[in-house]
Structure 1
Amino acid sequence: MPVFLLISCGDKDHSIKMKGSDTEVNLAVNLAEQYTEIDPDFSIAISGGGSGLGITSLLNGQADIANSSRPLSDEETKQFERKNIVLRTVVFAEDATAFVVHKDLPLDEIDLATLALILKGDIVNWNQLTSVDLPINIYGRQSSSGTHSFIKKKLKIEFSSAAKEMTGNAQILEGIKTDKSGIGYVGAGYIAHESGNQTVKILNIKESFNSPAYSPIDAHTINNNLYFFQRPLYQFILEDSWKKVKPFIDFENSERGKQLIIQHGYYIKDRTSNEI
């Protein structure tokens, strides 16, 4: 699990713990670094590990903020209610999930039905789709990952038991860079910000075989809701922590914060904050 720790000389009551989505972790670290320039007393510890881990950390009192690339499940909502824990929900950016392959694979776009067959394990060799005779290796995430749940629900599938379970975006990208038979999924904002990814190719996605293909890193596509795998990014915040967290959330919503979000390859859409 990637861990990033930012410490200042602030007092204990001012320190914040943020855990959760690997999709959001690089962006969260950069936002926190920039905010400490404004508020030198600000102190925050940030770690990834998946949306589920972040939400569980809130339940267990081990975090103030859970970054999540998915909404709360019905069961999670009930767990917070049973513990009388009140949350605030902030949608601070829009993301898209990119499907990536090695640059040498002769495939530039894929339709949803074919993608589902690959991830389910029904299509097992690239020669069923291309001129390349290579067994397909799937690079995915653990079940605690919000991105894993998102893809599974959007395609209405169960992942192949042969799919590799990786700990985050970075590990998936490293796998694809060295595996000409690999296919994986990562946050589009992450890969747009990642340097040295010349050996990785982003597939354009078509909803059906005859539909137009769309890229997850095209702003026009995302702003017009044309990409199948786009989604809001959430921050769930303990009501008891809201007072100390709010200045940082206000920074995210500032023009400087918005620019940082855009620079990381994410998109700004309608954002709200409310209690659940």
Structure 2
Amino acid sequence: MKYRFMVALVVVFASCSNRDKAIKVKGSDTEVNLAVNLAENFYKVNDGFSVAISGGGSGLGIASLLNGQADIANSSRPLNAEEDSLFKVKNIAIRTVVFAEDATAFIVRKSFPLDSIDVVSLKKVLSGELKSWKAITGKDMAINIYGRQSNSGTHSFVKKKLKIRFSRDAKEMNGNAQIMEGVKMDESGIGYVGAGYILHDGTDQPVKVLKISPVKGLTAISPLDKKAIMARRYYFQRPLYQFIPETSWNKVKAFIDFEKSKTGQDLIRASGYYIITPGKSTQ
């Protein structure tokens, strides 16, 4: 079964009157399909639990922890300095679990006259320094950018990796599904989504995934190239985090243990994500 999520959509597995076994997971849109898959299989062997999952972005998940509205925040970025300070001010001790790794894919319409792009050119495109594709493709088409809101971990990751401010003309979409829909209908559009999101439904997608070259002239790497990801050769790959308040740890431990189990790790790989440092967990 394939799942698509909008910001407010919540998926709940089971129902449970015992609040000590009712787990709320909020956050990263990049991780939401994976979280659903893990929760669905977790419930098969732990039917005493209920697991409610919603997306909306890494920032929303982290804010939910600060407000006491979640037990796990899925995030495709680390905590920023302000968030870290707020947790300390509120005296909320946080455990950090790195449970998978993902790559960010840059997508264009299937008919787009480009198969790869170097990092410097991508920087000029996404920052708005270039307004037309002519310098890159030879075709004078206006550049249309499909991105995420500032509370998105993927937005933050790309911005920091390229050391840019996104173009003011960039469209702010609610999630991966909206970006995919926008790009596939736009002959001059470019957007970014989690590669795991693409691989979750197979590689036959209505968009083209661009290969990325760190420097013009060097070999361009696809975010769908598993060997390259495992060798850390792709420029835009990153760990996926789960932030858990210490007060929720005992409640969620069974779910985290399931993620680390062979079954959980196999599910992570099968969903299009990667495990490079198995079971890495820090406090």
Give the Cα–Cα distance (whole angstroms) in 2 for the partners of residues 40 and 255 of structure 1: 19
Distance, in Å, in 2 between the alignment partners of 1:16 and 1:49 is: 17
1:183 equivalenced with 2:190 (yes/no): yes
1:192 and 2:205 are equivalent in the alignment: no
Alignment match of 1:73 (pick from 73, 80, 84) = 80
Equivalent of 1:4 in 3, 7, 10: 10
The alignment-based identity, stated in percent, is 60
Return 86-95 or 266-275, whichever deviates more: 266-275
Amino acid aligned to 2:139: V
Structure 1 position 2, deviation (Å): 4.6
- 2:13–2:43 CA contact under 8 A, matched in 1: no
Do 1:4 and 1:29's aligned partners in 2 also have CA atoms closer than 8 Å? no
How far residue 71 of structure 1 moved from its aligned partner, in angstroms, is 0.5
TM superposition shift of 1:33:
0.5
Is 1:165 matched with 2:161?
no
One-letter identity of the residue aligned with 1:272: K
Counterpart AA for 2:144: N
Q: How high is the TM-score relative to the length of structure 1?
A: 0.97
CA gap 1:169/1:2 in 2 versus in 1, 3 angstroms: farther
CA offsets per residue over residues 59-115 of structure 1, 9 Å max, x none?
A: 110100000000111221111111110111000001000000001011000000000
Name the CA distance, whole Å, in 1 between partners of 2:8 and 2:108: 23
Partner of residue 248, structure 2: 241
> Residue 232 of structure 2 aligns to a residue in which SS?
coil
CA displacement at 1:196 relative to structure 2? 8.4
Q: For the residues of structure 2 that align with 1:82 and 1:59, how far apart are their CA atoms?
A: 10
Q: Deviation of residue 133 (structure 1)?
A: 3.1
- Which residue is equivalent to 1:13? 20
Distance 2:280 2:142 in 1: 45
State the match for 2:113 in structure 1.
106
- Confirm whether residue 273 of structure 1 aligns to residue 258 of structure 2: no
1:62 pairs with one of 43, 55, 69: 69
Q: How does 1:20-35 map to 2 (within 5 A)?
A: 20-35=27-42
Question: Which residue of structure 2 lines up, in the alignment, with residue 118 of structure 1?
Answer: 125
Give the total of aligned pairs. 275
Question: How far does the alpha carbon of each residue in 1:141-174 deviate from its partner, in whole angstroms, 9 at most, with x for none?
Answer: 0000010010000000000000000011111001
Write the deviation string for residues 20-52 of structure 1: whole angstroms up to 9, x where unpaired: 000000100110011111011110111111101
SS in 1 for 2:53: strand
Q: One-letter code of the match for 1:8? A: A
Show structure 2 runs of 5+ residues with no match.
1-6
Structure-2 separation of matches of 1:137 and 1:2: 26
Which stretch shifts more, 263-272 or 57-66?
A: 263-272
Question: Which ranges of structure 1 fall in alignment gaps of 5 or more residues?
Answer: none
Is the partner of 1:36 in helix, strand or coil?
Answer: helix
Distance change in 2, residues 1:2/1:227 (3 Å): farther
- In structure 1, what is the equivalent of residue 95 of structure 2? 88
Following superposition, the deviation at residue 197 of structure 1 comes to 5.2
Query: 1:224 maps to what in 2?
Result: 231
